[in-house]
Amino acid sequence: MSDISFEDRVAIVTGAGGGLGRCHALELARRGAKVVVNDLGGAMDGTGGNSEAAESVVAEIKAMGGEAIANGSSVSDDAGVKKMIEDTMDAFGRIDILIANAGILRDKSFSKMTMDDINLVLDVHLRGSFKPIHGAWNIMKEQNYGRIVVTTSSTGLYGNFGQANYGAAKLGVVGMMNTLKIEGAKNNIKINTICPIAATRMTEGLMPQPMFDALKPEYVTPAVINLVKDDAPNGVIISAGAGAFSMAQIVETNGAYVGTGDDLTAEAVAAKWDEITDTSTQTAFKAGNEHGANIFARISEATS
């Protein structure tokens, strides 16, 4: 198996001043990429900001002989994202890879969560993925090349107490991926999702210390490298942590046809509930039209 190389590729990694983003940026640089290290340098709750963290990672990359620049823009700010894209193009002339990794937490039970808590988390995680990707999209289209990774979470995929805002944002990026994988295909733009299980500043204090020590962020990065390489897949969700990897999917059961008109009642649906929810036959659809086709298939079977 040949080594994965990013020679002559240019990568933007958001939230790369520490944790997962730093590991992604360093590994891309080791493999030859020119890297834009974006980090606002704020606190975990999104307040404050300075360029020290991003500059430190740039210094690490340069010390290993790589090329990198720092960018301190907020991924939720239109003008800041515009500057990030402009800085990249001015320095390197193209954008091949974009890893949307920046994140914050405002964890509270839903009854105690304020609209500020909701809006800020959505701004950073969801809009903060949309905006850089949107800024780079037409550049990638013109190049006929692009590799994008968005970052989800088990909270988005499956739920977690006290993180309704975070979970909504993290599943939102999967919805974005599901459309962009289709729109970008004709221009060789591939987009995938990483679901990391890692010990970072955001997870410190949420797990026992031995588990925290085992979940090194650098153990997630090999999956990300595979999601942005030349022959990357398109539209997959890969979970990664502590050296183990798996694929997550949204699936749908075959379902059942119940009827129409007077035959279609809540009680009729209840009578077929076991068939509707039978998980022994289920499919991961590649596009929304396949979802509709599944429903029409049940109708055809029952009425033909």
Write out the two tokens for 108.
């509270």
d(CA 120, CA 166): 10
Q: How far is CA 264 from CA 72, 253, 258, 297, in A?
A: 57, 20, 6, 18
Map 134-156 to HEC letters: HHHHHHHHHHCCEEEEEECCHHH
Do 225 and 4 contact (CB within 8 A), yes or no? Answer: yes
What does the alpha-carbon distance between residue 303 and residue 256 come to, in Å, rounded to a whole number?
12
Distances (CA, A) of 115 to 46, 118, 119, 166, 297: 15, 5, 6, 13, 43
Rounded to whole angstroms, how far apart are CA atoms 4 and 274?
Answer: 47
In angstroms, rounded to a whole number, what is the distance separating the alpha carbons of residues 136 and 130?
Answer: 10
CB 75 within 8 A of CB 131: yes
How far apart, in whole angstroms, are the C-alpha atoms of residue 302 and residue 72?
59
* Cα atoms in the 13 Å half-sphere on the side-chain side of 2: 6
Helix (H, G, I), strand (E, B) or coil at 15: coil
**Cα(65)–Cα(47) distance, rounded to whole angstroms?**
33
Q: Cite the active site residues.
A: 166
